[in-house]
Structure 1
Amino acid sequence: MKSPPAKLSDILLTALAPMSWGTTYVVATEFLPPNHPLLVAALRSLPIGLLLMAWCKQLPQGIWWWRILLLGSLNIGIFQALLFIAAYRLPGGVAATAGAIQPLLVGVFAWIILREKPSKLSIVAAIAGLVGVGLLVISPAARLDPIGIVAAISGAATMGLGTVLIKRWKRPVSLLVFTAWQLTVGGIVLLPIALAIEGPITNISTTNLFGFVYLGVVGTGIAYALWFRGIEKLKASAVSYLGLMSPVVATIIGFVFLNQSLTPIQLVGMTIVLISVLIGQQDN
C-alpha cells in the first residue's frame, strides 16, 4: 500500500536542520578557536548530549546499547571526523561537492536495507543535485586531494547509512532521549581522538563561548532532533535531498556577511539544487 504524501510542515521542519548546518562555516571561522576542528566537533555534541541525558535520566536497554553505539558513531562521531578531514585537505567547495553524493548513496542503502527501490526521477534528481552543488561551490583553481575526496565521500556514506538504519530500526524512546543518546555517544567517540591529535584549547574567549553555545544548542541539539524526526516522517531518500540545502545556505551567508562573490554560474547551481530538492520531495 502506498504511503500517504508527506506534510509540508514535516519537510520544512526537517529542512531547518541542514540549513542550520550551513551556518557552521561562518560560525567556525568567525567565532571559534582556530586549528582545533576535531575538538570543536566533539565539543559541539558532547556537552549538549550530556545535558539532555541528565535531563531525561534514561539509558538504552538491551539491544539498543550497541545500536546507539553504531548510530552515534555513524551520524556524529565518525561522520564529524571525516567531515573535518575533508575540510582540512580540500577547499570547501570540493568537500561540499563530494558530500553531495549522499542522496545517491542513501538511495542505494534504502534499496538494500528498506526495500525502497529508487525511481528513475529520484536518481536524475540526485545526479542533478550533485552537479548543482558543484556549480554552486567549486572553483576552477580547486585542488583534488585523494585522501580528502575519500574522506568526504566516506563521510556522506557514513551519515547516509546512519539515516537509513534509523528508519529501519525505529526509535524506542522519545525524540529528545534518542537525540541525547546519539550526541553523547558521538562526542565520546570523537573526544579522545581530537585530544590526541590536536591537544586541548588553551584560551577560550567570550566570543568562542558564544560560538560553542550556538553550535551546541542550535546547530547540533535542535538540528539533529529535527533531522531524526524527519527521518521518521519522510522517506530516507527525501531527507537526504534536504541535506543539499546546507551548501546553499553557506553560500548565501558568505555572500551577505563575508562579502564573498556570487557569480551567474553559482546562481545556476543554486537553482539546480533547489529544483533537485523539490523533485526529491515529490518522490516521498
Structure 2
Amino acid sequence: MNVWIGLLCLIWGFNWVFMKLANGVFPPVLFAGYRFALGALVLVAVCLAKKVPLPRLRDLKWYMLCGILQTMYFNLAIQLSLKDLSAGLTSVLTYSMPLWLTLMAHFWLPGERLRLRKLLGIVIGTAGLFVAMDAHWSGSTPALLLAVSSGLSWALANLLVKRKLGHCDMLQFTTWQMITGAAGLLLYSALFEQGESHWGVMPAVYVAFSGIVGSALAFVMWSYILSKVEASKASISLLMVPIIGVVCGVLFLHETLGVVTLAGIGLVLAGIWLVNGKSRQGNRPVAQGAASPAQRQA
C-alpha cells in the first residue's frame, strides 16, 4: 500500500510542473477548464460503467457549491498564482489547507476543538507562511494572496463535505462537483481571459496528464487507498506532495530555492504535520476531514 501512496504523491507533486508549463501555452484558467472537463468526462464514464445513480436534488446544491469552491475557485487561484510564483511555493501555500480547516473545525464541527498540539501547529505553520511570503513579496502580493486563498477555499469546501455530505457516495460527489467546477472555469475564461491556446504535442500532454492522470486516475487511486488505509495515515502522507512539487520545480523548471524560502516551507510543513498528526488524544476527525478534498486536487 505504501507503493500506491508514494505513486499518488508523485503524480500530484509532479503535476505542478505541467500546471506551470501549461501557463506558457494556454490562458491559465482555460487550461484548468480543459483539465477538469477532461477529468469529468473520464469520471462520468466510470460512473456509467459502475452504474452510479444520479444525485438527489437535496445533495446536488452542495455538490455544486463544493464544485465552485474546490474545483473552480481553487484551481482558478492556483493557475493565476503560477503566473508570478514558482510551482514549489504555490504548492506549499495551497497545501496549508489543514491549518485553515482546523481553525474552522474548532468553531463549526462538534468534537474537533483545538488542542495544544493543533494550536502549536497553527502558530508554526502561519509563521512559515509569512516567512515564505516575505521572501517572494516584492511585486507578487496578489499572487501570494491568491495562492493562500486557494487553501482557504479548499478548507471551506472540506468543511461542507464534513457537515453536509458525509452520507454521499464519494465517486458521485466528485464527478458532479468536477462537472460544476469545469463549467465555471470555462465560463470564467470565456468572459474574462484573453490570449490564445497554442496546441501541439506537448500542450496536449499537459492537458492529458493533468486531466486523466492528475485528476481522474488520481481520484480512483485515492479512493482505493482510503478503502485500505486509515484516513489519518493517508492524509499525513499527502504532506509529501508539496515537497515533491518543490523538488520537481527545481529539477525540471530550474526554479531557485533560497534559504529563507526553504525555511518557510519547512515551517509550513511542520505546522501541517502537527495539526494533522495523530496524537494520543486522537486527531482522527480532522485527519478524516483533511482527506476528503484531496480527492479533487493535484
One fold, TM greater than 0.5?
yes
Identify the range of structure 1 (262-271 vs 79-88) with the bigger mean alpha-carbon deviation: 262-271
Aligned residue type for 1:153: V
Deviation at 1:23, TM superposition (A): 2.2
Once the two structures are superposed, what CA deviation does each residue of 1:221-271 show, in whole Å capped at 9, x if it has no partner? 233456678699536xx94x6665443212111233334444555555555
User: Which residue, out of 25, 46, 51, partners 1:34?
Assistant: 25
Which residue matches 2:177?
Answer: 182
User: Which residue, out of 117, 120, 124, partners 2:120?
Assistant: 124
Over aligned residue pairs, what C-alpha RMSD do you find?
3.7
Contact 2:85 2:140 survives alignment (8 Å):
yes
Which residue matches 2:296?
Answer: none
Indicate whether 1:48 and 2:39 are aligned. yes
Structure 1 residues 245 and 273: CA distance shift in structure 2, 3 A = farther
Deviation at 1:220, TM superposition (A): 1.5
Report the Cα distance in structure 2 between the residues aligned to 1:90 and 1:263, rounded to whole angstroms.
Answer: 14
Report the Cα distance in structure 2 between the residues aligned to 1:85 and 1:211, rounded to whole angstroms.
Answer: 17
Pairs aligned (count): 271
Once the two structures are superposed, what CA deviation does each residue of 1:182-223 show, in whole Å capped at 9, x if it has no partner? 211110111111122235844311111111111012211233
Which residue matches 2:138?
Answer: 143
Structure 1 residues 17 and 273: CA distance shift in structure 2, 3 A = farther
Structure-1-length-normalised TM-score:
0.76
User: Which residue, out of 231, 234, 238, partners 2:231?
Assistant: 234
Which residue matches 2:205?
Answer: 210
Which residue matches 1:6?
Answer: none
Q: Which runs of 5+ in 1 are unaligned?
A: 1-8
Deviation at 1:26, TM superposition (A): 1.7
Structure-2-length-normalised TM-score:
0.73
Contact 1:46 1:188 survives alignment (8 Å):
yes
- What pairs up with 1:24-173 in 2 under 5 angstroms? 24-30=15-21, 33-57=24-48, 58-88=53-83, 95=90, 98-99=93-94, 101-115=96-110, 116-132=112-128, 140=135, 142-143=137-138, 145-168=140-163, 169-173=165-169
Deviation at 1:117, TM superposition (A): 0.8
Aligned residue type for 1:26: V
Which residue matches 1:21?
Answer: 12
Structure 1 residues 166 and 194: CA distance shift in structure 2, 3 A = same
Structure 1 residues 181 and 18: CA distance shift in structure 2, 3 A = farther
Which residue matches 1:194?
Answer: 189
Structure 1 residues 79 and 224: CA distance shift in structure 2, 3 A = farther
Aligned residue type for 2:115: S
Contact 1:94 1:142 survives alignment (8 Å):
no
Report the Cα distance in structure 2 between the residues aligned to 1:68 and 1:150, rounded to whole angstroms.
Answer: 26
Deviation at 1:103, TM superposition (A): 2.4
Contact 1:97 1:130 survives alignment (8 Å):
no
Contact 2:86 2:249 survives alignment (8 Å):
no
Structure 1 residues 132 and 224: CA distance shift in structure 2, 3 A = farther
Aligned residue type for 1:40: F
Structure 1 residues 32 and 217: CA distance shift in structure 2, 3 A = farther
Task: Give the match's secondary structure for 2:83.
Answer: helix
Once the two structures are superposed, what CA deviation does each residue of 1:100-159 show, in whole Å capped at 9, x if it has no partner? 542231012222332211212122123323444666x65745325554344333322211
Determine what percentage of the aligned residue pairs are the same residue: 22
Aligned residue type for 1:126: I
Which residue matches 2:215?
Answer: 220
Report the Cα distance in structure 2 between the residues aligned to 1:149 and 1:195, rounded to whole angstroms.
Answer: 25
Contact 2:84 2:140 survives alignment (8 Å):
yes
